[in-house]
Amino acid sequence: MTQADAALKARSGPRLRGFNWREYVVYIGFVVVFLFFAVTQGANGFLTTTNLTNIVIQTAPITVMAVGLVFVLSAGEIDLSIGSVVALSALIAAVTLRATDNMLYGAAAGLGAGALVGLVNGLFVTLVRLPSFLVTLATMGAVAGLAREVTGLQSVPVANDAFLSLFGQGDVFGIPGLVVWSIAAVVVGYVVLRQTRYGAHTLAVGDNIGAARVSGIKVARVKIMVLMGSAMCAALAGLLYAGRLQGARYTLGEADLMTVIAAVIVGGTSLFGGKGSIVGALLGSLLMGMLNNGLILAGLSVSQQMMARGAIILIAVSLSLREKRS
């Protein structure tokens, strides 16, 4: 151990000062909500393995989208088009599968559609220099329209066994495929954000864009990449929906945007850029899934669920968003 190593170790102590509990809101919230439903809905089957596994399975598309959105928010941008991309990707994949019955073509078409939407978003943000809020608000509408147009509001069944097995109903050593997809997205997202130059550059762009620029970071490229990444995550989520539901419909992903944003923010990612947490996003997504599940078990009607979910999200986000702004 060199002297510098020793010095590093000796001086790491003070960092622990000032425990910032807001960063742990997601963990606290997760435990509180879990315990709440365990006590009140335990008798309704909340705690059964089947139900808990179901929560994770049903949350998979949200988790995958949340991973993508962490990068976008970390870079100081936002992507509102992800919900629409889910439907577009699922429908294009379904139509392609119907025409070719080839799993690879279907998956590639869906992901390709996502990549294209992300590229359009990225180019408008970097070349035309519009705020991503406006660009993705516009593409959200346009893509939703396109998804309706593709099949003329018809839903399309998916019958390709390889596709259904890979993206929905298969399993790996007994672990449901959708759980594996969630884990894979989280692991890849974590490594890329924390352990690659691209991740570091993404955080730098969101934190201090001027500093990033003079440090030779290719700011425009980072912005295009995060928007393409998020759109492709949404496209993958679309494939997962199509796989699980054995078909695609233009309503897929309709309500997911708010859920994903809430999951990511509650998970400790800054809405103002520079700070992102993949693990937090996973827990935030599971928290949202748990809420969904618990409220259904509690016997709330759909409209009551919507109100309750909105209120809970508002509370959770207020608790985690009160950042110290110096």
Partner 1 sequence: MSTVIEESVPGAGPGAGGVPLQLSNIRKQFGGVVAIERFDLELRAGEIVALVGDNGAGKSTLVKIISGVYQPSEGELRMHGRPVSFRDASDARRQGVEVVYQDLALVDSQPVYMNMFLGRELTRGPLRLLDRRRMARETQELVDRLDVRIPSAKATIRELSGGQRQAVAICRATHWASSLVLMDEPTAALGVAETAKVEELIMRLRERGAAVLVVSHNLDQVFRIADRVTVLRRGRHIGTRDIAATTRNEIVSMITGA
Q: Is residue 217 within 8 Å of residue 241, measured between CB atoms?
A: no
Give min distance, CB of 222 to partner 1, in A. Answer: 11
Give min distance, CB of 314 to partner 1, in A. Answer: 25
Tell me the backbone φ, ψ of residue 82, rounded to 5 degrees: -60, -40
- Rg, the chain, Cα only: 20
Give min distance, CB of 3 to partner 1, in A. Answer: 8
In the complex with partner 1, which residue's Cβ is closer, 203 or 261?
203
Give min distance, CB of 279 to partner 1, in A. Answer: 16
In the complex with partner 1, which residue's Cβ is closer, 126 or 270?
270
The SS3 of residue 171 is strand
In the complex with partner 1, which residue's Cβ is closer, 84 or 277?
277
In the complex with partner 1, which residue's Cβ is closer, 30 or 71?
71
Q: Which long-range contacts (CB under 8 A, 24 or more apart) does 213-222 make?
A: 220/126, 220/127, 222/75, 222/198
Q: Is residue 48 within 8 Å of residue 206, measured between CB atoms?
A: no
Q: ∠ at Cα 88 (294, 71), nearest 5°?
A: 70
In the complex with partner 1, which residue's Cβ is closer, 19 or 173?
19
d(CA 261, CA 80): 9
Task: For 107-122, give the DSSP string.
Answer: HHHHHHHHHHHHHHHH
* Alpha helices in the chain, H assignment, sequence order: 3-11, 25-41, 49-74, 82-100, 103-126, 132-151, 161-164, 177-195, 197-207, 209-214, 219-245, 256-266, 278-297, 302-321
Give min distance, CB of 264 to partner 1, in A. Answer: 16
In the complex with partner 1, which residue's Cβ is closer, 135 or 224?
224
Binding residues vs partner 1 (CB under 8 A): 2-5, 7-8, 11-12, 14-15, 191, 194-197, 199-201, 203-204, 207-208, 210-217, 270, 274-275, 326
Give min distance, CB of 16 to partner 1, in A. Answer: 11
